[in-house]
Amino acid sequence: MPLPKDLLDQATRLLSHEKKKPKQASIRRAVSTAYYAAFHLLASESAKRMAPTLPKKLGLQVQRAFEHGAMKAVCKSFAGGTLPSFIGHLQSGSIEPDLQKLASHFVKLQEARHAADYDLVHTLTKQEAEDNIDKAKEIFAIWKTISKLPHSNVFLMSLALPQIGRWRKE
């Protein structure tokens, strides 16, 4: 997964780019980049499970179908530990705490990305950027440990096809 990991590394570099006083542009791009690192990680993992390997770029084309708002709705549901009743039969036991945490971090990162890109009223602090980069790093770390869980499969398919759980689209 070169692009997602490269984006994560880039977010970290952006934050330490200016040694004394980070520019708002660097802080804001760092937050935005951290979100897109997580977005592309989940989109690529999902596409990998859905798309055949040939033709070569089919998976990349599938990734273009992901919608931020729908992904957020799915993540909110998983973060809360429950799936819509429509697909409740796919849930066996509780949603794992790490998957809940990953989903919760994604929602928060997406909102932080929105603030970083559009809310110029509030100065974005280095603490806030650091916190969001840390969340993205946690998403990567958690994913390594839960990627093979049955609920993770449901999660990935729901991100790609929110219709399966009748999650609303934004």
Partner 1 sequence: MSDLSGGGTVEEANKIRQVINKRDLPASVRSFKLEFGADSTGDPAVTIWLIVDDDPNPPKRVLDQTTRFVRETESELMQLGLRHWPFIRFSPASEAKLYFGETDAAPQRFA
What does the alpha-carbon distance between residue 157 and residue 164 come to, in Å, rounded to a whole number?
8
Q: Which residues contact 95 (CB under 8 A, 6 or more apart)?
A: 78, 81, 82, 83, 151
The verdict on 115 binding partner 1 (CB under 8 A) reads: yes
The verdict on 64 binding partner 1 (CB under 8 A) reads: no
Indicate the residue among 62 and 131 with the shorter CB distance to partner 1.
Answer: 131
* Span near partner 1 by CB under 8 A; candidates 47-55, 59-67, 87-95, 103-111: 103-111
Q: How many residues bind partner 1 (CB under 8 A)?
A: 32
Work out which of 90, 131, 146, 164 binds partner 1, going by CB under 8 A: 131
Work out which of 17, 91, 101, 161 binds partner 1, going by CB under 8 A: 101
The verdict on 80 binding partner 1 (CB under 8 A) reads: yes
- Where would I find the H helices in the chain? 2-15, 24-50, 58-63, 68-79, 97-118, 126-146, 150-160
Six token digits for residue 112: 């932080």
**Omega of the bond leading into 150 within 30 degrees of 0 (cis):** no
Q: How far is the CB of 139 from partner 1 (least distance, A)?
A: 13
Work out which of 64, 89, 122, 148 binds partner 1, going by CB under 8 A: 122
Task: Find, among 117, 133, 107, 100, the residue nearest to 14 by Cα.
Answer: 133
What does the alpha-carbon distance between residue 79 and residue 101 come to, in Å, rounded to a whole number?
6
* Span near partner 1 by CB under 8 A; candidates 47-55, 58-66, 118-126, 144-152: 118-126
The verdict on 100 binding partner 1 (CB under 8 A) reads: yes
Max Cα-Cα span within the chain: 54
The verdict on 76 binding partner 1 (CB under 8 A) reads: yes
φ/ψ of 64, rounded to 5, equals -70, -15
User: Residues interacting with partner 1, by CB under 8 A?
Assistant: 19-22, 69, 72, 76, 79-80, 100-101, 104, 107-108, 110-112, 114-115, 118, 121-128, 130-131, 134, 170
